[in-house]
Amino acid sequence: GQQVQQSPASLVLQEGENAELQCNFSTSLNSMQWFYQRPGGSLVSLFYNPSGTKHSGRLTSTTVIKERRSSLHISSSQTTDSGTYLCALDTNTGKLTFGDGTVLTVKP
């Protein structure tokens, strides 16, 4: 089965609403990375989070190793947050295993 599963597959919000994106993994990890992919393709690293909670502006990442999950919380969403959010599992082999992503659409 797939090592990394993301949910939901897609999400539509009104501007100002909060979003909670989930990533569940089935194997041990060294770290979890979250990426934002712009419409058009390029990826931007949001968080490198081996465990615990990290904050960056309106974004919060929480990784709970024992529960094999990581989440990305977006508060007060804006239309410019629209795009695809990808999580990727790093098992300390130098390789990342990606989930299929969550497509977020924020409507004005």
Partner 1 sequence: GGIITQTPKFLIGQEGQKLTLKCQQNFNHDTMYWYRQDSGKGLRLIYYSITENDLQKGDLSEGYDASREKKSSFSLTVTSAQKNEMAVFLCASSITGGDTQYFGPGTRLLVL
* Cα gap 36→15, rounded to integer Å: 18
Of 47 and 76, CB closest to partner 1 = 47
Asked if 47 contacts 55 with a C-beta cutoff of 8 angstroms, the reply is no
DSSP letter at 80?
Answer: G
Q: Which of 39, 41, 57, 108 binds partner 1 (CB under 8 A)?
A: 41
Among 101, 106, 108, 77, residue whose Cα is nearest residue 8: 101
> How many residues are listed for the chain in this entry?
108
Q: Determine if 24 is a binding residue for partner 1 (CB under 8 A).
A: no
Our CB check for partner 1 shows the closer of 19 and 86 to be 86
Place of tokens 């599992």: 89
Select 45 or 75, whichever has its Cβ closest to partner 1. 45
**Shortest gap between Cβ of 73 and partner 1 (angstroms)?**
20
Contact positions toward partner 1, by CB under 8 A? 4, 6, 30-31, 33, 35, 40-45, 48, 86, 88, 90, 92-96, 98-101
